[in-house]
Structure 1
Amino acid sequence: MSRKVNLAVAATVTLIAMAVTFSITMVVSMDMFNNTVSSVKNKERMYNKLSEIDRYVRDNEYFDINEDTLNDTIASGYMLGISDKYARYYSAKAYTEKVGVESGRLMNIGVSVIKDASSGYARIIRVYENSPASEVGLQVGGFITNIDDASVRTMTDTAAITSALLGEEGTTVRITYLNPDRQEQPAVELVRSNYTTATVFTQMTGDNCGYVCIDAFASTTGTEFRTAVESLLNQGAKALVFDLRNNTGESLEAALVAADYCVPAGLIAQSQAKDGTVTDLRISDDHEITVPMVCLVNGNTAGGAELFANALRKMAGASIVGTATAGKGVVLSEPQSFSDGSAAVITIGLLLDNEGQSWNGSGLTPDVEATLTADEQNSYYDFTVETDPQINKAVNSVMAMVG
């Protein structure tokens, strides 16, 4: 009798388990189905709208349509519409240039420039050693006025000027140039050749204070940074100022390596995925810098540069001087290339500091405020390390820490 009861109980339990499994499967399947249908409907709505616009324009537009420009603009618009302000679309030309520069196939003439607002010309803010530009005597503070047959004034922004200067090794470019005194110089032809693009620049300043300008965080920055800091400490630096102004912090890995050299052992930063998963990005070793440190920042200090400054403040007691930073505390994807040679980058995670806190959107608030007046902002690229008021404030702050 008991055997029959046990069999009946077992059969009942089995039926219940099957019913529960079936119910769960149905719920999950329906959810997947609804999500798929919703996604299909949204895509269909998007494609239908684009198709309607396209039909109307092609039936009525007076001017000719450049198909490449249209496609690139549609793709750029898509990236603008996904509420990810760090997402970026690269046209096939822009992505080819990016890959070419990173691989060493394409190169500049050995200058960094900005589009000067007052003159419209390309103002030279950096001349690299052993480059074609340094060999012909181009100087910081000078202006490039023409590139080949094109006036720089017709170029829309700094990126367009930089693109015009790019070319393969061995090719030539003809430029006209004003020296820092605004005197026009004879046109020169430069042969593009390989040179080292440094990202870290140093000098001793003040009362044995080491000044370290980190222009960018790139693949070579970690090694450059360590060499630069060791050199200053060997020269007797009692304190260090790290200038991170206008550093957009493209390489998080380089920023982590540099921070690791400065801070004591411990977790430096983490990343958080969309599903909430948190991953440690780097745990530092025992090596640390024991002299007082200050990070000088501004509203263009972003990404890896913010990570570096935040890590030094939280883990090594460094102070932050300047103005609030950009608040770009995200992890970006590697460029995803597409069939036509274009590419896109999107946000894939949130940056967190060693305490699990995010600065995305809010930025870092300085410990010591150091702003520039309107006149000082206009003279920003005219300042030297000795005359720059923000650097002076950073040096004074760090030397006060020395005592």
Structure 2
Amino acid sequence: MENKKQFIRGIAVGVVITALVAGGVSFGSRALTKVSDEKKAESGELNLTSTAVEDKITEIETLVQKYYLNEIDTEQVENYLYKGMIAGLDDAYAAYYTKEEYQSMMDSTNGSYYGIGVEMSQNMTTGIITITRVFEGSPAEEAGLLPGDVIYKVQDTEVTGEDLTKVVSMVKGAEGTTVPISVAREGESDYLTFDVERRTIEIATVEHRMLDGNIGYISIASFDDVTVNQFLTALEDLENQGETALIIDLRNNGGGLVSSAGSILDRLLPEGLIVYTEDKYGNREELKSDAENYFDKPLAVLVNGNSASASEIFAGAIKDYGIGTLVGTQTFGKGIVQKVYPLSDGTAVKLTVSKYYTPKGNNIHGIGITPDVEVELDADVANAITIPEEKDNQLQKAVEILTEK
């Protein structure tokens, strides 16, 4: 089975490589077309429909049909051809999604799904997938999974290096079924395996409460479709309770929809630029806030190394405008934008299409955003599902800063 996987992946990668290094062999009446194909290759233009590529795929297909010993999963071979094309871009954020994977991704931003109640992030350099949040009362919490657990296997399949969306779709499934998940945990010498039940998970992306001193607290777990209304409702409730200052917690928020982050910033910022993007042609698109609303009370924003993408757009705008204090540790450093393009057969591709810049023109890709006040979270609570308020030294530092103002 492993040889089969390697062979299929070889076909996928081979398609892309062939497009780039197509040789000088001509095939009879196709010689003139071949010359044209070579010119495209020399110009750096992607040309996967060249006769050389088509002939090579046909040649490999003939050999597989004639000699390959094991049963062939034709759908899997086809999917890896498409995945290989995108993998050949050497972009960790680009991906091809099957119908099932695309639907899983859509579900994850629409509000509810059958899952186990965790949020995961992936280190795009190592491919390692880590649980960053376990929802209270979720099947994952009941089973014993913890933030900081590194996912090794899902359904007995190793997942390190796999596309995160694919791993999410593996975790999800029919309501009431169970999924075995093996993790590496700090302090444990062997992998731990948990059988976790899948249940309906309602995504509460925003939590809020009033802290001592009339300081409001809003935690945003991710920027999804439902997040904007949840945030505005939370902010209104805190203001009705007499909030005099606000803490927004973006720790472990891996991003999400830029439009949702922009809508929330529109409520907080004065009139002006929120973020702008530039594509490969230098075309610029701007997202702006209007003059209708802005937040004029003391503000602090909590960030850490898992605050990425849309979270960094948020934090970058707050910092550039100087309307709040960033507290915590250096953010992840994702300053590029991906767009998902649905295909005609229900599949989809995700491509990196532009770079984004903070209002002052900073692109933080590979760098991150440095907080105004750097505070490491105490190690004894770093992997807790919930951190008691009095033991959350980053939160307490933000309270201290706002109290002084």
Please indicate, yes or no, whether the TM-score normalized by the shorter chain is above 0.5.
yes
The reply on whether 1:244 has 2:250 as its aligned counterpart is yes
Counting helix residues as a fraction of each chain, which structure ranks higher? 1
- TM-superposed CA distance for 1:197, in Å, is 2.6
Whether the aligned pair in 2 keeps the contact of 1:297 and 1:325 (CA below 8 Å) is: yes
Q: 1-side partners of 2:332 and 2:196: how far apart?
A: 39
Q: Is the 8 A contact 1:110 1:127 kept in 2?
A: no
Residue 219 of structure 1: aligned partner: 225
**Residue identity in the other structure for 1:78:** M
Q: Over alpha carbons, which structure has the higher Rg?
A: 1
> Is the CA contact 2:205–2:221 (under 8 Å) kept in the aligned structure 1?
yes
> Unpaired runs of 5+ in structure 1?
1-30, 116-121, 145-150, 177-186
Asked if 2 retains the 8 angstrom alpha-carbon contact of 1:201 and 1:214, the reply is yes
The corresponding residue for 1:366 is: 371
Q: Give, as a single letter, the amino acid of the residue that structure 1 aligns with 2:398.
A: A
CA deviation digits over 1:276-328, x for unaligned, max 9? 12122223324211222122112221121111111111124312222222222
Q: Does 1:201 align with 2:203?
A: no
Provide the secondary structure at the position in 1 that maps to 2:264. Answer: helix
1:181 match = none
Cα 1:395–1:71 change in 2 (3 A) is: farther
Distance in 1 separating the partners of 2:305 and 2:58: 41
Residues 128-162 of structure 1: CA deviation (Å, up to 9, x unaligned): 7xxxx6xxxx6956538xxxxxx977365686576
Structure 1 residue 49: deviation in Å?
A: 5.5
Report if aligned partners of 2:109, 2:225 keep a CA contact under 8 Å in 1: no
Flag the 1:394–1:172 CA change in 2: closer, same or farther, 3 A. same
How many pairs were matched up? 335
How many angstroms apart in 2 are the aligned matches of 1:274 and 1:314? 25
- State the secondary structure of the residue aligned to 2:391: coil
How far apart are the structure 2 equivalents of 1:388 and 1:173? Answer: 36
CA distance in 2 between partners of 1:43 and 1:327 (Å): 36
Q: Which residue number corresponds to residue 350 of structure 1?
A: 355
2:395 to 342, 366, 391: 391
Q: Which residue of 1 aligns with 2:9?
A: none
Per the alignment, residue 134 of structure 2 pairs with: 125
1:74 to 78, 81, 99: 81
Cα distance change of structure 1 residues 245 and 71 upon mapping to structure 2, 3 Å threshold:
farther
Aligned to 1:143: 144
8 A Cα contact 1:323 1:365, kept in partner = yes
1:60: Cα distance to partner?
A: 5.5
Shift of 1:36: 8.4
2:119 and 2:356 mapped to 1: Cα distance? 30
For 1:303-342, list aligned pairs within 5 A: 303-339=309-345, 341-342=346-347
Deviation of the 1:103 alpha carbon:
6.1
Q: CA deviation at 1:47?
A: 4.9
Paired with 1:77 and 1:352, the residues of 2 have a C-alpha distance of 30
Query: What's the offset of the Cα at 1:364?
Result: 1.1
Report % sequence identity.
28
Aligned partner letter, 1:290? D
CA positional deviation for 1:219: 1.3
Contact 2:217 2:248 in 1 (8 A): yes
* Alpha-carbon contact 2:110-2:224 (below 8 Å) kept: no
**CA 1:164/1:283 → structure 2, altered by over 3 Å: closer, same or farther?**
closer
Q: 1:125: how far off?
A: 1.7
- For 2:228, give the aligned amino acid: G
Return 232-241 or 358-367, whichever deviates more: 232-241
Q: Could you tell me which of 94, 101, 108 is aligned with 2:114?
A: 108
Q: Which amino acid aligns with 2:327?
A: V
Seen in structure 2, the aligned counterparts of structure 1 residues 162 and 362 have a Cα distance that, compared at 3 Å, is: same
Letter paired with 2:269: V
State the match for 2:91 in structure 1. 84
> Aligned pair in 2 of structure 1 residues 383, 34: CA closer, same or farther (>3 Å)?
same
- Provide the secondary structure at the position in 1 that maps to 2:216: strand
Structure 1 CA distance for aligned equivalents of residues 246 and 92 of structure 2: 34
CA separation in 1, counterparts of 2:232 and 2:39? 54
Aligned partner of 1:300 among 293, 296, 306: 306
Once the 2 structures are TM-superposed, how far is the Cα of residue 367 of structure 1 from its aligned partner? 1.6
For residue 135 of structure 2, give the secondary structure of its aligned residue in structure 1.
strand
Q: Is the 8 A contact 1:114 1:125 kept in 2?
A: no
